[in-house]
Structures are given as structure tokens and as C-alpha cells.
Structure 1
Amino acid sequence: MPALTEPAQRATVASSALAGRRRVFDLPESRWAAAALAFFLTGLAVQLAGAPAWSWWTLYLASYLTGGWEPALAGLQALRDKTLDVDLLMVAAAIGAAAIGQITDGALLIVIFATSGALEAVATARTEDAVRGLLDLAPDTATRISDDGSEETVRAADLEIGDVVLVRPGERVGADATVITGASEIDQATITGEPLPVDKSAGDEVFAGTLNGTGALRIRVDRRAEDSVVARIVALVHEASQTKARTQLFIEKIEQRYSIGMVAVTIAVFVIPLLFGDTLQASLLRAMTFMIVASPCAVVLATMPPLLAAIANAGRHGVLVKSAVVMEQLGTTTRIAFDKTGTLTRGVPELAEIHVLAPGMTDDDVLVLAAAVEHPSEHPLGAAIVRAAKTCGLRWPAATDFIAKPGLGVSATVNGTRVTVASPTALPDTLAGADAEVVGLVQQRGCTAVIVTAADRPVGVLGLTDQLRPDAPGAVTAAARLTGCTPVLLTGDNDTAATILADRVGITDVRAGLLPHHKVDAVAELQADGTRLAMVGDGINDAPALAAAHTGVAMGGAGSDLTLQTADAVIIGDDLNAVATVIALSRRARRVVVANLAIAATFIAALVIWDLTATLPLPLGVAGHEGSTVIVGLNGLRLLRSAAWRSAADGT
């Protein structure tokens, strides 16, 4: 892998910027929003029950206080900085509603805004906690070997370039380094996405945070902790998330202009009639009526119910969409990118091929020998061989004198014969030309080849591969049909395995051998022409790409904690077909939002014009305002029905 050229401070800044953040369960926003909602619902029940007005007024005022003090304070602080935002405007509208007796409307407005703010705060805090948690992958300490051969335990963060470190079996690698001596298998799926442990020996590169297998390694440190690949992932996730947040600037400008305009017109509606001799009471009533009918309550409800209903519907069908903004963004997707391992595949090896090399033997004979030797082994490939033998109903004799050579293979005595199961590189002098050709064919088909020998004579070749998800081909077809563009495959696996997998599922654009920052570059390239890319992945190595993409979708079944928190949406049930379905549902929700906004704008415009050009009776103004709210609310809630999900699935 090429050296990382970005400044070392980036990773440090990314992690330290999160150090002072609060954890999810410490967030006060959630508690205040819950209290406001509880007071509102209790007040509504008391009001509908016909209780005295003072009782439900008291409960509604409690809802005002618990849900409104924070946005009011934030709005006043913004006002001090000469900025007028919608938070303060909505609080003012709620107070205006209470001033003319419509406290129920005001309390509902307060609850909506308090809940929205709490959800945003929780989502932000959870993502930041997950980014901090990624740093835990790298061990806190490492065993450094001095020049005199002695060992000392030091902080991994204190390792310097050139230090020699001992990595024992089962330990995590403490730094990005090069193997000096030893051989082992390294599980580096967290960095490269490769489904199987990779054999490492002298001269090979290893990454901080990856898990060593059964062998001991001596490694020479190549990068300091803050420059490691795992630290770079943290920085990439943080930076991509910050970049995505800046897209909200346009919305803030609209909010500012609307707020200023509404306040200016409200003051004018109050002052101008006074100048022409109108009474104070009449001018105040007209201004309050304007405040009610012009308030953006209907606009808020025009947007949120369809999106929240779609979120709830998707949740019932195994898809977690984290916010209304994400649900809206999903509908603009124009192309979908898939990771390979753990996304289109299950990330679990399986026996795919058996080739018999010895005359007189059968597939079952070879598999029995291999299972007998691999049964004591803990290697994932060995487990796959044993599972295959069990599936075939085979029984094998007990093996003795079991020996495991990390990175090379295993051997044992079976019925008096020494049997080995090893990688082709471990048996360079054992394979004849024809046998080597079989191994080559197995590898060309994207399988991992292992050789079974008996008494130093090759008797069979086993080909193991990752399991393709059964719904992967259909999901890729649905994605292409929905977006009108062929999906792309972004994977850290080798080109041969990636191409073979892509052919099986119908993907023609394959980009293989990608490390995390390469995936980010690929996402940026794909989006450079305006493409709105939905990236689907599962591993920690996918997290930066998910954050950089227009929309990130994580597979939740085996997805890493960071990936699940970084992604905008999570496929909880691991149903790949749900990716296209939720995008189609989002498009339906966006169409409903547009229709609702048209309805809300029509009502507001008509009522405002009436109030400004004539005398709009307050009851009629409230009825019109509430009527538009009810209409757009009910229209949006249609997306709660299961039929909406089925329709979206059929439409894909």
C-alpha cells in the first residue's frame, strides 16, 4: 500500500474533536422532548374529557416550558448575534397562539420542534461515539524488542518508525508495519474487507488493529499511531460527515429570509392600521391572526409526516432510516455502489470444488481425509471443510499428532498415514505439472486453493470461496432498473475474485483492491459529474466511503458498530432487495411532500391575502390554518400503510 501522504495531525484532530462530546444517554434534549410530549398528550386527553380549562392550560404551559425553553434560548442567542432563525419564530408563533386562546396549536408546534432537535442531537452523538470506538481496535500496548533482544511493554501510541515489535498469537497488531520474521495468518477484514485471513510472512505488510492468528510475528513499525490506516479511517469519516453537513447552508438562508419577512410583515400589520386610526385591540387581533395563519406549522407538517411515515414503514420491513433528511435524500439516488464481502456475499468461506488427483480415490475420500486433519484446527478454511463434510453426512477417523504451521497449513496422522492440508505455496516441490495446472484453474475461478496430501503424495485440491447472498443478483437487477444505471462494485478483494463475483450478479463496473481511502476516492470520482451515489457496505473499511457518499447504506446483520453509526440507513434484516425498495419508497414520500407543500402554500397564501386585504375572522383563520394542517397530515400518513411498501417493492 502506498504511504499515506496526508498530514499526521488530521487523525489527531478528528479524534480530539470528539473527545468532549456527550454520550447519547447524557443528552438532555431527549429528556426535555419526552417531557414536552408527555405534557401535551396529557393535556389533550384532559381537554377532550371536558375538564376545566385551567387544568389543560396548565399542562399545555408545562409543555411550552419543557419543550420550548431551549429553542427559545437558542433563538435569543442567535438574535443577539443579529441572526433570526425559525426556532425563535416558531416559539413566537406558539406564544401568539396562546395569547389568542389557541394554546393547543402552540403546544403541538413546540412538541414538533423539540422532538426534531432531540433526534438530531441523538443521531450526532451516537455517530461521534462510534467514531471514537474505532480507535479501540488498535491495542493500547505493544511488546517492543530492544536491540539487546529484551522485551518491554510500551504504549502503542509511543511506538516510533523502525521499532521492532513482537505480535503473539491472538493479539492485535499495534502499528502499520512490515513482517521481519515469522509466519501467521492475519484477519484484516477491518481494513481491506477481505473475507478470509491472509497469510503473512517476512516482507509482508500488516496494519494496526488487525488480528493475528496462530503464529508469532516480529514486525518493524512503518508508521506512527496517528498516521496508521485505522486512524486515517477516523479522520475520513469525520471529514466526510462535516462536508455533508455544509449542504444545509442553502436551507438556512431560506429560513433566515422567511423569518425576517414574517416578523417584518407582522409588525407592519400591527402598526400600519394604528397609524390610520384603527384601535389597538383591532390591530393586535389582526396581527395575531396573521401570526397564526402565516406560521410555518402547516409547512412543517407538510414535510415531516410523509417522511416520518415512510421511515416507520421502512422500519417495519427491516430498514432503519436515521432521519427525515436521509429519507428525502434516498429518493434522489441516481446510482448504487455495492461492497463485495459481507454485502453481496456472506463473508463466510464455503467449500466450492473438489478435484481428485490420486487414482482410485473419490471426492468423499479426499474430503474425509481433509476433515479429519482440519477438525482440531481453528482456521476459518478448516472450519469450512469440516462443515462441508458434515453436510455430506461423512464420518472421519480421529487424527493424531496434529501440527499447525501458521500461514502454511496443518498436518496429522490419519489411519497410520501422514496427511497434510496446506496452501500451494507451502508445497512448491510436491506438485507435478498437471497438479499445478489444477491449482491454477481453481485460483482463476476466484477460489482459495488448498492441497490435500497423503504420505507426501497429492491426492486432491479443494477450492473454497465466499458465499454469495441468494438475493444478490435480484437486488443488483432491481438497483439497475430503479436508477437506470448499472451498479458499481467497490471492494478490497483481489481483481479475479471481484470480477467473477460481479459476473454472477450482473455488475460490469468493477473496482477491486481498494483500501478505505481508495474507496473514498472512487466515490468522489463517481459523484464528480453530479451523480447521487448510494453506497452499500458492511465493514469498518466501508465507513469512510459510506460517509463520503450522497447516502450511505449499511448491512446490519454483520455490520461493524462504526459502519452502522456512520451509515444514513441500515438494512437490519440483511435483505439486499430492501435497498432498491427503500429508495423507491423515498421517491413516493418526496412526491407526497411536494403535493403537501403545494396544499399548505395555497392555504397560507389565501389566508394571508385575506387577512391583509380584508378582515379575516379569527375563528375562520384558525379553522383554515388547522384545516390545511389536518389535510397535509393525513395525506402524509398514507405512507404508513404496508401497501405503500409493497407498491414500492413492485415498482422496483
Structure 2
Amino acid sequence: MRWAALSSGLFLLGLTAQLAGGPAWLWWMLYLACYAAGGWAPGLAGLRALREKTLDVDLLMVAAAIGAAAIGQITDGALLIVIFATSGALEAFATARTEDSVRGLLHLAPDTATRTTADGAEQTVPVSDLEPGDVLVVRPGERIPADGTVLSGGSEVDQATITGEPLPVDKGEGDEVFAGTSNGTGALWVRVDRRAEDSVVARIAALVEQAGRTKARTQLFIEKVEQRYSIGMVAVTVAVFTVPLLLGDSLQRALLRAMTFMIVASPCAVVLATMPPLLAAIANAGRHGVLVKSAVVMERLGATTRIAFDKTGTLTSGSPELVEIRCLDEGLTDDELLRQAAAAEYPSEHPLAAAIVRAARNRGPALPATEEFTAHPGRGVTARVGGRSFGVGSPAAMLGSVDRGSESISTADDSVATAITAVAAAQERGYTAVVVTCEGRPAGVLALADRLRPEAPAAVAAARQLTGADPVLLTGDNRTTAERVADRVGITDVRAGLLPGDKVAAVRRLQADGHRIAVVGDGINDAPALAAADVGIAMGGAGSDLALHTADAIVVRDDLTAVAAVVDLSRRARRIVVANLALAATCIGVLVLWDLIGALPLPLGVAGHEGSTILVGLNGLRLLHRSAWSGSDRLG
């Protein structure tokens, strides 16, 4: 990266000196330094390829740049060097960052664990030494060291890194837990089920690496034919030089003709036909909050035929909000029930508690004072508010035969049956239900849900209009919740309950059906699917480091409508690339035939070659204009 930056800086200094009318020796020296800084890496790569009996465009570009300098066109040659050095450096940088993120993923799980022995003693041991059957104690706030099953205890566990679920999940005896997830307020005793190298989080890292290796290296169009073109150009250049020489032509005339051919046939115009439109599109996308990591990605975006969305953090914001209040106590209004529940929950650190408190504050005056607050990990809380005892917690804890000191609720109570019906109705609609009790009797049910991004329906509609195919929802959340969100945004193809490996399999199936898939996600659990997709797009606001580094493009401003807009911009760039290639190929063909059949003067050959190069470059730069980013307005 530093050599590319140095090369670009030297080019700008040389161009400034040249345009300012500085001495020729000064800007020639700056351009030659630009050649050295940016050309040694592609030149070395080209020589290595030559040693392996292949000829690639890297060596050809260096040769063309040297040839341009030899006939006085050093500025054009330096520009070619800068383009190649910069694109190669960006690709290497992106690859290195992705590898670093995969290695960092393995540090999600702690390095040590607290293992208990048969006599109740505790030992701190490395996670790598854990064996299936070991029993661990996981205290509040700690990360779970290994995949396993809860033997005793109760707590809420944030497992968004694995399943993508936006809310912590209550865990008790018999429940499965995953390495790298975060324990909440309670203690858990966990039996280890899998070794560290076989854990789900380790498999996520392996999936990302495997997808990166097996994903075919996509190239720009010109790079796909570089080998044949390079060999053909070198062979014809040699023939143009040797054949006239053997037929009695002078060395000077034969060399001049060969040099003219090399200049007019060099793919400078073809390279510039491809790169400026894509680079201009990248710059325009960046101005509108989308970071596209390379020209290859920008070209590939335009080939997308179907878009798959993650749910949590992508279509939704990833934070819960209150959506319904069902009051069961005739002595309370909806607002009063919410205020009492919020007051009881106020000291709690649970995300659902924060959502309830936020909703109560938005509706009315300050919350009443709370006394005798007690948290019951994995169950809920109890507190005295206004002289009465209130409980707020999960339906299983609040509506079962749960002993909470002086409180005991029997499921035979009619009010309990009513509450169970209300809970079932909320859960059928995909909501998370929270039960509120007053003096030991059910007082109401609060329904919470992940907040939908306001632009999500428009973004999904734009994706459908642009690709002509229904978008897909890929989520680790349960089917009921997934279908509720899908119905609200207009998605009919829902694939729910997916672990990271399942998401990769779903992407592979879509690709097997002939689709070019763009996956939009934000979490660690989305990273394997982002890597496996033809194009991975990460939401930048709350995206995990692994997702951001694995993705090919990043929506920095978290505006979902930008997904369809950048695909549309890529398609515009592809159309300009095709037009530019046709123009460049026509100019090259005419000049080459003129040189082979007739006697093309070198100055005229240079003028025609450089003229076509300038034309295609200016045509590509049209995408820098703000009007090129009209996809979101037109499609939305």
C-alpha cells in the first residue's frame, strides 16, 4: 500500500510540475521515480509469471509504460503504473484485513475456563484442554468457553454472534449454549459437549476461510483475455520487426515499425476503458455512503440476479421495542401497567427492561420509585412499586408454579389461563412476550419485537424491481418471527432457523439454480455467507469486524436503499465499459491494420492511440456526476 501511495504522490508531483511549466528534467525525474515506486511489484510479478512460462498483463503494462517513455509519452506510462499499483495494493490490503478478522474470531471464546471437579473444587484450565463431559461454571458477565449443555442454574445468554437473535435467550437445565456467547446475570453449570476446535465459532472461522479459498477469483473482463492478448501482441511485434528485416528492410525502419505497432496495439486504451468507469462508480458510491472495495467488486455487483437479506441488524435495527400492551387487571390502564412494569424493571440491565423503560418514558411522566428490587436470573425481576409487589419476567417463570418468596402462582387460576392465551397470541405473531404480575396475579402481557428499519420495505421492493427476482430472507431466528418481519417488508422466500453453515448451504443452493447472489448482512454469523456469495454487502453501522472485512462492499450509513442503488450504478458502469471497449478495440484495430498493411507514421499512431485513450477515459468519468446515483430515487 505504501508503494502505491508513493507512486501516486510522485505522479501528482510530476503532473503538477509539467502543467506549471517546470523544467523537463524535473518532471521526467518525478515520473521515473513513479515508475520505480509503482512498477517494481507488477514487474516482478510479471517476471515470475514469465519464469513459469506464462505472460500476463502486468509485464505487458510495464513494457507498454517503458515504451511510452521511450517515445516521449512518459505521462501516459506513469498513469498506467499508478492504476496498476493502486489496484494491486487495495486487493492485497483487503485480503490481509480479512485474514486478520478470521484469526480474531477465534478469540471470541475466552482462553481459560473454570472447571469443577467431582468434589466441588474449581480449577482454571486452558480452553484447549477441555474434553467432552467436563463441567464448567460460568459466572455472570463471562463468555461461555465451550459448546455444551446447561446442567443447572439459570441466566439469559446473548448468542447473537452465533444465531443472530437480537435478544438474549433464557437458558436453564437442558438448554444448549455456544462458545463465545455472553452470559447475563445468572450463573450456569455447563457440561462440555465439543472440543474447542469443533465448536460452532471455530466452524464459522473455517467456513469463512473455506469460502474464500473455493470462491473462484473473479477478474475484470480485460484480465480474462490478458494471457492470449499478451502472447499475441508480443508474437506479432516480433514478427513485425523480423519479417521486414529478413526481407531486406533497414534495421531503423523495421524497429520503428515494430515500436509503432507495440504502441498502437498496447492495451492502454482497453485498460482505461475498463478502470475509469469502475473507479468513478466507486467514488460516486462512496460519496453516497457505500464503500466498494475494488473495481472487480464494482463490476461483479452489476451481475447480481438475486439479493438475500439477513434479518437482525439488516432489515431490523437489532434493538427491541414495545409493540403491544394487553392489560388483564381491571384496576389498571395500559399506561399505568406499563409505568409499574417499567419502574420494576428500571434497575435491571436486561435489554428487554431497557425497551420497557424507554417506552414508558416516551408515553408519560417520571416513573414511580422502586423498592425491594430483586433480580431472578433467567426468569425476571420483582420489586415493590407504590406499595404493591410487581413481577416482570418470562412467561415460563411468571405463569408456572414458581416460588418467589411469598408469591406462588398456580396454573389453575383463571387469570393465568387468560395470560397464557395472551402470551400465545403474541408469540404466534412473532413477538417476545413478557408477563407482568401484581400481588402474585397476572396483570398484563407486554409484547416486544425487534425494530424494523423504516426504509426496509422500500429497499426490498427496489431489489425485486432491479433484479426481477424475489429477495430471500436468511436468518437464524425462529420461523414465526422471521415470517412476521418478511410479511412487513414484502419477502415471500423465508429461510429461518439457520446456523452460519446453513446460510452458506442456502447460498450455494441459490447459486446452483443459476443465480448470482448478493448477500446483505451484519453479524459474525453472516460472515461465512458473505464470503460464499458472489458479492457480500455488510451493514457498516453495527456490523461486526469480521463481517465488515469479509464483505466486498459496506453500506457505511446503514441505508438499505443504497443496496439496490449501488447495483444499479454498477450496471451503468458495465454498460459504459462495454461501449468503451468497443471504441478502444475499433481504434486499436484500425491503427494496427494501418501499420501492418501500410506505413503508419509514428506520431500519427501515438496521436490515434492517445486520442482513443482520452476519449474512453472521459466517457468513464461521467459516472462521477451526482446524477449517476439516481437508482435509489428511480427504483425506490
Q: TM-score range by the shorter chain?
A: over 0.9
Q: Which residue of 2 aligns with 1:290?
A: 261
Matched, 1:81 2:65: no
Q: Which residue of 1 aligns with 2:563?
A: 579
**Contact preservation (8 Å) 2:416, 2:442:** no
Task: Give the CA deviation at 1:36.
Answer: 1.4
Q: Which residue of 2 aligns with 1:193?
A: 164
Q: Which residue of 1 aligns with 2:405?
A: none
Q: Which residue of 2 aligns with 1:106?
A: 77
Q: How far does the alpha carbon of each residue in 1:385-415 deviate from its partner, in whole angstroms, 9 at most, with x for none? A: 1001100023222111111111100001122
Letter in 2 for 1:212: N
**Contact preservation (8 Å) 2:109, 2:144:** yes
Letter in 2 for 1:207: F
Q: How far does the alpha carbon of each residue in 1:507-545 deviate from its partner, in whole angstroms, 9 at most, with x for none? A: 111111111111111111111111111111111111111
**Contact preservation (8 Å) 1:364, 1:394:** no
Distance 2:479 2:613 in 1: 55
**Contact preservation (8 Å) 1:78, 1:85:** yes
**Contact preservation (8 Å) 2:508, 2:532:** yes
Distance 2:421 2:76 in 1: 78
Q: How far does the alpha carbon of each residue in 1:54-106 deviate from its partner, in whole angstroms, 9 at most, with x for none? A: 22221211111111112212211221221211111111111222222222222
Q: Which residue of 2 aligns with 1:118?
A: 89
Q: Which residue of 1 aligns with 2:145?
A: 174
**Contact preservation (8 Å) 2:242, 2:254:** yes
Residues 622 and 144 (structure 1), Cα distance of their counterparts in 2 relative to 1, 3 Å cut: same
Matched, 1:428 2:400: yes
Question: Which one is further off, 641-650 or 563-572?
Answer: 641-650
Q: How far does the alpha carbon of each residue in 1:540-572 deviate from its partner, in whole angstroms, 9 at most, with x for none? A: 111111111111111111111110111111111
Distance 1:111 1:405 in 2: 63
Q: Which residue of 2 aligns with 1:7?
A: none
**Matched residue SS, 1:278:** coil
Q: Which residue of 2 aligns with 1:515?
A: 499
Letter in 2 for 1:396: L
Equivalent runs, 1:10-29 vs 2, <5 Å: none
Distance 1:249 1:621 in 2: 27
Q: Which of 587, 609, 621 is the matching residue for 2:605? A: 621
Q: How far does the alpha carbon of each residue in 1:82-141 deviate from its partner, in whole angstroms, 9 at most, with x for none? A: 121111111111122222222222222211111111111111111111111111211111
Note the residue ranges of structure 2 that are not aligned, 5 or more in a row. Answer: 402-408, 410-414
Note the residue ranges of structure 1 that are not aligned, 5 or more in a row. Answer: 1-29
Q: Which residue of 1 aligns with 2:194?
A: 223
Q: How far does the alpha carbon of each residue in 1:463-493 deviate from its partner, in whole angstroms, 9 at most, with x for none? A: 1111111111111111111111111111111
Distance 1:575 1:487 in 2: 17
Letter in 2 for 1:479: A
Matched, 1:333 2:333: no
Q: Which residue of 2 aligns with 1:399?
A: 370
Q: Which residue of 1 aligns with 2:313?
A: 342
Task: Give the CA deviation at 1:434.
Answer: 2.1
Q: Which of 467, 481, 484 is the matching residue for 1:483? A: 467
Q: Which residue of 1 aligns with 2:574?
A: 590
Letter in 2 for 1:281: Q
Matched, 1:307 2:291: no
Matched, 1:474 2:452: no
Letter in 1 for 2:400: P
Distance 1:647 1:459 in 2: 51
Residues 249 and 303 (structure 1), Cα distance of their counterparts in 2 relative to 1, 3 Å cut: closer
Letter in 1 for 2:167: L
Distance 2:244 2:27 in 1: 35
Distance 1:65 1:422 in 2: 68
Q: Which residue of 2 aligns with 1:135?
A: 106
Q: Which of 214, 231, 241 is the matching residue for 2:185? A: 214
**Contact preservation (8 Å) 2:162, 2:500:** yes
Distance 1:487 1:67 in 2: 43
Which 4+ residue blocks in structure 1 deviate beyond 4 angstroms? 247-253
Q: Which of 590, 594, 597 is the matching residue for 1:606? A: 590
Equivalent runs, 1:456-467 vs 2, <5 Å: 456-467=440-451
Task: Give the CA deviation at 1:433.
Answer: 2.0
Distance 2:320 2:262 in 1: 65
Q: Which residue of 2 aligns with 1:447?
A: 431
**Contact preservation (8 Å) 1:585, 1:648:** no
Distance 2:95 2:633 in 1: 30
Letter in 1 for 2:494: V
Q: Which residue of 2 aligns with 1:152?
A: 123
Q: Which of 311, 318, 322 is the matching residue for 2:293? A: 322
Distance 2:583 2:85 in 1: 25
Task: Give the CA deviation at 1:626.
Answer: 0.7
Q: Which residue of 1 aligns with 2:381?
A: 410
Question: Which one is further off, 203-212 or 529-538?
Answer: 529-538
Distance 2:194 2:12 in 1: 58
Q: How far does the alpha carbon of each residue in 1:183-234 deviate from its partner, in whole angstroms, 9 at most, with x for none? A: 0000000000001000000110000100000001110111111111111111
Distance 2:334 2:365 in 1: 11
Say what the alpha-carbon RMSD is for the aligned residues: 1.4
**Contact preservation (8 Å) 2:328, 2:442:** yes
Distance 2:426 2:31 in 1: 72
Residues 253 and 433 (structure 1), Cα distance of their counterparts in 2 relative to 1, 3 Å cut: closer
Letter in 2 for 1:608: V
**Contact preservation (8 Å) 1:553, 1:571:** yes
**Contact preservation (8 Å) 1:97, 1:288:** no
Matched, 1:162 2:146: no
Q: Which residue of 2 aligns with 1:37?
A: 8
Distance 2:372 2:432 in 1: 26
Equivalent runs, 1:493-572 vs 2, <5 Å: 493-572=477-556
**Contact preservation (8 Å) 2:307, 2:517:** yes
Distance 1:624 1:301 in 2: 15
Distance 1:164 1:236 in 2: 28
**Matched residue SS, 1:137:** coil
Q: Which residue of 2 aligns with 1:351?
A: 322
Task: Give the CA deviation at 1:251.
Answer: 7.0
**Matched residue SS, 1:372:** helix
Distance 1:52 1:500 in 2: 70
**Matched residue SS, 1:530:** coil
Distance 1:249 1:328 in 2: 7
Task: Give the CA deviation at 1:45.
Answer: 2.0
Question: Which one is further off, 356-365 or 641-650?
Answer: 641-650
**Matched residue SS, 1:612:** helix
- Percent identity of the aligned residues? 72
Q: How far does the alpha carbon of each residue in 1:289-323 deviate from its partner, in whole angstroms, 9 at most, with x for none? A: 11111111111110011111111111111111111
